[in-house]
Structure 1
Amino acid sequence: MTFSEDVLTRAQPMMAAIMAHPFVQGIANGKVSDDTLNYYVEQDEHYLKDYLQVTALTLTKTDNADDIARLLETAQFVSNESKAHEVMLNITGHHVADWRRSPDTQLYTDHMYTSAYHGTYADAIAVLLPCAWSYGVIGSELVSQGANNEANPLKEWIEIYAPQAGDAIDYNAWRFDALERAVANFSDSQKEHVAQTFLKSLEMEWRFWEAAWQQTQWQFEF
């Protein structure tokens, strides 16, 4: 079993929990409250800015020209992800107001920066990967369930994240390939550190959905 296969095997219970989460199931049936959608978009606006900055930092940790090109291309996708936000905001009528970062958003982005600044190229790839991978799974699974039907107001959101048959590059396949190459000469303990980085990010993905569902806020004003 390769390193990536082992990590994905360990990730399956978390991914199953994400798919079963009431927010994701609400997207599948097109029934999510305006408050939940607005909270999600506001927090995702914060998250994506940090995702781009961590991606930029990751670029400095490799001299592989193909990886650099792929990272730049994925950064472009992230910068265009406002289309997904527009789908939700068109439903709610909300305008982004730069709400305060929630505790879970802060926890997630702190994890990203720490891993990218203090870790290896493998750590930087691993901390970013669960976001793209899990959304690809969500999009693909929901399309396979027929959730992207014309009656679903979140149809376009689902299709933005679903891999397209005609895509020239499978970016998640590239991400796992890059991760595999990055850990090729690592010791078992080093590999486990990278695995923990990946799995922690995936738990943060679940927490991101949960925070929006529960409308989680800081307990005190400060």
Structure 2
Amino acid sequence: MLFSQELKEASKPIIKKIYKDPFIQDMLHGTLSSDAIKFYLRADASYLKEFANIYALLIPKMNQLEDVKFLVEQIQFIVEGEVEAHEILAEYVQENYNEIVQEKVWPPSGDHYIKHMYFNAYAKENAAYTIAAMAPCPYVYQVIAKAALKDNGLNQNSILARWFEFYSKEMDALVNVFDNLMNQLTENMSIKEKNEIKSCFLQSTVHERNFFNMSYIQEDWLYGGD
């Protein structure tokens, strides 16, 4: 089994839980609250900005010009292409997307996730660690979206169905590139190193779950200890 496939197999139980969690289930049925949607958009706008920055940190670690070119294109996609998915959610809440994200949020779970990616980008020389921290993001969205489109519970009349349609296709190329890079970069690694990378991948998958859940409950910093 290829190492990338091994990572995906290990992440299946977590992704099943993400799918069954209330954020995705409410989105599936077209009943997700406007407050949860707006919180998600604000948090994701902050997340994607940092995700683009981490791509920039990954580029110098690439040996092939083709891989560099693809990552540059991915930065452009984050800046422009993924806004299409955000616009779908803004249409659902009947508010302007740019106005929604004027208000910034930086919740604890999002903070933890972003710092996890930065740590692996800065602390680990081998790009496999950075990719392991980043790859669950597109992979989780891809799997969830494809599952939703086959789910009889999907509310086809809801605008939110278009969000699933977007991610069912737009993540394919990135997931494939990450898979290939992961397999190449770990080819001569020890079992210990591969286990570290697997742990990194699974941690990011858990972070994806926490990100959806934090949006559902509109998580905040409890400085007072309450």
TM norm structure 1: 0.91
Measured in 1, the distance between the counterparts of 2:151 and 2:75 equals: 29
Residue 203 of structure 1, aligned match among 187, 206, 209 = 206
More helix by share: 2
Contact 1:7 1:195 in 2 (8 A): yes
Structure 1's unaligned 5+ residue stretches are: none
Give the match for residue 49 of structure 1. 49
**Percent of pairs with identical residues:** 27
Give the match for residue 6 of structure 1. 6
Give the match for residue 102 of structure 2. 97
Contact 1:61 1:121 in 2 (8 A): yes
TM norm structure 2: 0.90
> Deviation string for 1:63-115 (max 9, x for gaps)?
21222122122222222211211111222244223323000111000001111
Measured in 2, the distance between the counterparts of 1:57 and 1:67 equals: 13
CA RMSD of aligned residues (A): 1.8
Measured in 2, the distance between the counterparts of 1:123 and 1:110 equals: 13
Give the match for residue 86 of structure 2. 85
The total of aligned residue pairs comes to: 217
- The within-5 A match list for 1:29-178 is 29-79=29-79, 80-94=81-95, 95-119=100-124, 120-145=126-151, 147=154, 149=156, 151-163=157-169, 170-178=173-181
Structure 2's unaligned 5+ residue stretches are: none
Point out 4+ residue stretches in structure 1 off by more than 3 angstroms: none
Contact 2:30 2:155 in 1 (8 A): no
- Report the AA paired with residue 76 of structure 1: Q
Offset, 1:162: 0.8
Measured in 2, the distance between the counterparts of 1:17 and 1:196 equals: 18
Give the match for residue 16 of structure 2. 16
Measured in 2, the distance between the counterparts of 1:177 and 1:58 equals: 15
Measured in 1, the distance between the counterparts of 2:87 and 2:2 equals: 39
Offset, 1:116: 0.7
Measured in 1, the distance between the counterparts of 2:132 and 2:43 equals: 21
